[in-house]
């Protein structure tokens, strides 16, 4: 968990919003302790640290995580990607509960009644059009503002050419990987066109029948912080277990998303990498690489050292299946150059 604390702290938009949350809620006397308050308190301790060197233990936060989720109570090796998803979704749930509780208070009810007419105009206006005929007003937090993007799943009927689009949100992109590949090629494969035929035909509403179709996934709205999860752990059927893929996957310092809907030239800059060290999924260790003030730092629990950007290639993976190098980039964090602070 410690490696994530350094990575999330250097997600500048997320850190600033979390510190604002801490300032606005630190004097609330009967505030319930939860993951959000523990993380906000930890970030506040780090940001107010006067010494240039030192260690701040995340003990209170770790204890809260173990109390909240039994998966993280044991000493067994836990997956960093699962932890990220758990943490971000838990923070969103807490913010939603707090907002609902505030809206349900007498003060909120009296103030909202006076402005109900104006809010109804917004609710019924074109700002939130129905998606596939279903009206949905998602709860949006500052966690979403930092990490959430939108994918669109497009299916084109090959008989009538009608395109059916379905949107879905994401906090991270999980990419299949291949030996001696790159993030760019992985993203191309992610958005490649798939033909639906034979038993996989698509039911076209316009044709009212099953038809051959072409399907593809696009990034409709890129997030402010793009999190890319490389699928390094794969179930091998003949082995009957998961195996770590040590494939060499090149991740660039600057990444351009070619296949987005809103902006075909969305550019990102790499600022953090979570590295898995070990030969298998059930054992190993995580460290983090973080870029701060144009220098790369290597975080291994309480140990911090500066590394040369030229050495980043050692974390791409191994070009051969059996290698002594077991330090492989697992989760990549890119910030949008158009929105970076």
What amino acid positions are annotated as catalytic residues? 3, 285
Bridge partners, residue 266, by sequence: 257
Sequence-ordered strand ranges (E) for the chain: 149-157, 163-170, 173-175, 181-182, 194-196, 202-204, 209-211, 213-221, 225-230, 233-236, 241-244, 249-250, 254-257, 266-280, 283-292, 295-300, 303-307, 327-336
C-alpha distances in Å from residue 286, one per residue of 5, 14, 34, 153, 313? 12, 22, 25, 33, 17
Q: Which residues, at least 6 apart from 155, have a Cβ–Cβ distance to it below 8 Å? A: 163, 164, 165, 196, 202, 213, 214, 215
Structure tokens belonging to residue 337: 């150059």
Bridge partners, residue 249, by sequence: 181
- SS3 for 274? strand
CA dihedral 21, 22, 26, 29 (to 10 degrees): 50
- SS3 for 69? coil
């Amino acid at each position: 968990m410690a490696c994530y604390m350094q990575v999330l702290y250097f997600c500048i938009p997320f850190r600033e919003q979390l510190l604002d949350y801490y300032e606005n809620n630190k004097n609330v006397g009967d505030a319930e302790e939860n993951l959000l308050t523990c993380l906000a308190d930890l970030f506040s301790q780090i940001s107010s640290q006067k010494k240039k060197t030192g260690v701040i233990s995340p003990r209170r936060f770790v204890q809260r995580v173990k109390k909240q989720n039994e998966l993280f109570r044991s000493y067994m090796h836990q997956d960093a990607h699962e932890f990220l998803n758990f943490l971000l979704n838990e923070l969103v749930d807490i913010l939603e509960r707090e907002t609902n509780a505030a809206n349900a208070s007498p003060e909120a009810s009296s103030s909202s009644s006076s402005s109900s007419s104006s809010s109804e105009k917004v609710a019924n206006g074109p700002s939130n059009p129905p998606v596939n005929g279903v009206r949905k007003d998602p709860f949006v937090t500052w966690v979403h503002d930092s990490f959430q993007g939108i994918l669109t799943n497009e299916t084109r009927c090959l008989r009538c050419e009608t395109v059916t689009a379905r949107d879905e949100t994401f906090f991270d992109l999980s990419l299949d990987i291949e030996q001696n590949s790159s993030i760019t090629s992985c993203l191309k494969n992610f958005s490649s066109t798939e033909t639906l035929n034979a038993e996989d035909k698509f039911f076209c509403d316009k044709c009212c029948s099953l038809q051959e179709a072409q399907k593809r996934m696009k990034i409709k709205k890129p997030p402010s912080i793009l999190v890319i999860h490389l699928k390094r752990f794969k179930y091998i059927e003949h082995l009957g277990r998961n195996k770590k893929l040590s494939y060499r996957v090149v991740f660039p310092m600057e990444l351009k998303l070619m296949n987005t809907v809103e902006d075909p030239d969305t550019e990102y800059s790499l600022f953090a990498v979570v590295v898995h060290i070990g030969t298998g999924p059930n054992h190993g260790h995580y460290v983090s690489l973080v870029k701060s003030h144009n220098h790369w730092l290597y975080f291994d629990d309480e140990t911090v050292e500066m590394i040369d950007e030229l050495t980043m290639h050692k974390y791409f993976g191994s070009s051969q299946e059996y290698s002594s190098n077991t330090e492989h980039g697992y989760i990549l964090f890119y910030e949008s150059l158009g929105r970076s602070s």
